[in-house]
Structure 1
Amino acid sequence: MKNYLTASTYIDFDHPDVAARAAALAEGAATALEVARNCFGFVRDEIRHSADYKLNPVTCKASDVLRHGTGYCYAKSHLLAALLRANGIPAGLCYQRLSVGTDGAPYCLHGLNAVHLPQFGWYRIDARGNKPGVAAQFSPPTEALAFAVRPPMERDLPEIWAEPLPVVIDALETYTTYDQVLANLPDVVLLA
């Protein structure tokens, strides 16, 4: 669990602003479940999704997402992991491989989180941000993610990563505007 509780370059909960926000979200909460719910709600509802709102700059580090109030799903997952870890709650990063359009190629990754809750174990949450057709919720033990996968080429990638995938970091650090990222969303090749 240690890897899911540490600060890093992109999950920088040791940044004073992130630490302060994490403490504020935990204030008055009696359990880890309540803290996790508060953190999830804040990132889902208060941090705007870059493509939905056509916002720059492109953010990657949790502290930058918090400072600018915007991020792609990947960056929002970095902030949520940072807020949870700052409160001593193990959190990791998860990905889905989804169609960019309504069906078929091209495909891209979608970033979300897994949080380890004492009552439930690992539980996936998706703070991407709701909009018409997207209604992610925090309702353990039932998952209520932003997107359902449609086989055969869409997939829930089963891993829980402690750090962002390099292809995600590359996309968020290479492109400087939201529309450039939107035109170059990261993807992975499925082995089977």
Structure 2
Amino acid sequence: MEPIPEAPGLAPYLAADDVIDHGHPEVAATAARLRHQAATPEDYARAAYVYVRDEVPHSFDSGDDRVAWRASDVLATRNGICYAKAHALVALLRHEGIPAGLCYQRLTEDDGSDPVVHGLIALRLSGTGRWSRQDPRGNKPGVDARFSLGEERLAFPVRPVLGELDYPALYAAPPAPVLAALRGAADRADLASRIPDRI
């Protein structure tokens, strides 16, 4: 992927809002537990990533019918799809002063059909001088995402020959199609029918 374009400033990637509510007690308590085992900001970022990847199951894998979208709710219910898990990880990072934003990919089936938008994040650690994408979707057979500040270890490397792509924008808040799908869904099955096919 091409480098993420430089943002006009880091303040939007540290802000709280209704979705990335990093001032919420649930986010603060989770961050405190993770901070306790982290000696450096990189250690904390890795711990937060692993926590969201491994301890918050992807609802399409677990079969959980609840639809969480606010970061605090995702952490409280330990449930969410890729978008929701990205919101939770961004909130945990911003709570500790690590700039983080939302990224998206357009993915398809192996034959190029049924495109969907997949959510992940990018963070910027002081001293690195660049944004690093991370995918907390959750691993399963065929998916092996890892925290990496060097070579990307994402859940789904894109296949341009199938029309897949990495959207280059770095979002401070979820784009409207993503948020509409999450907020409008009654349950997991309904959400599956609402996932956007483009940003």
For Structure 1 versus Structure 2, the TM-score category normalised by the shorter chain is: over 0.9
**Greater fraction of residues in strand:** 1
Q: State the identity as a percent.
A: 48
| RMSD (CA atoms) | 1.1
Please state if 1:132 is matched with 2:159: no
Give the structure 2 partner of residue 64 of structure 1.
Answer: 73
1:67-112 CA-to-partner distances (Å, cap 9, x unmatched) read: 111000000000000000001100000000001x222122110000
CA distance in structure 2 between the aligned counterparts of 1:12 and 1:54, rounded to whole angstroms:
26
- Mapping for residues 134-153 of structure 1, pairs under 5 Å: 134-152=143-161, 153=163
Runs of 4+ in structure 1 displaced over 6 angstroms?
none
2:174 alignment partner in structure 1: 164
Whether the 8 Å CA contact 1:167–1:187 is kept in 2: the answer is no
Give the equivalent residue in structure 1 for 2:7.
none
Q: Distance in 2 between matches of 1:119 and 1:138?
A: 17
Mapped to 2, the partners of 1:174 and 1:158 lie a distance apart of 26
Structure 2 segments unaligned to the other structure (5+ residues):
1-9
Q: Which runs of 5+ in 1 are unaligned?
A: none
Q: TM-score, normalised by structure 2?
A: 0.91
Is the 1:125–1:143 contact (alpha carbons within 8 Å) kept by the matching residues of 2?
yes
Q: SS in structure 2 opposite 1:77?
A: helix
SS at match of 1:182: helix
- The Cα offsets for residues 114-167 of structure 1, whole Å up to 9 and x where unpaired, read as 000124320000000000000000122111000011114100011111000110
Report whether the alignment pairs 1:35 with 2:44: yes
Q: How does 1:49-60 map to 2 (within 5 A)?
A: 49-60=58-69
Aligned counterpart, 2:55: 46
| Partners of 1:184 and 1:17 in 2: CA distance | 28
Query: Does the residue aligned with 2:18 lie in a helix, a strand or coil?
Result: coil
In 1, the alpha carbon distance for the partners of 2:111 and 2:102 equals 25
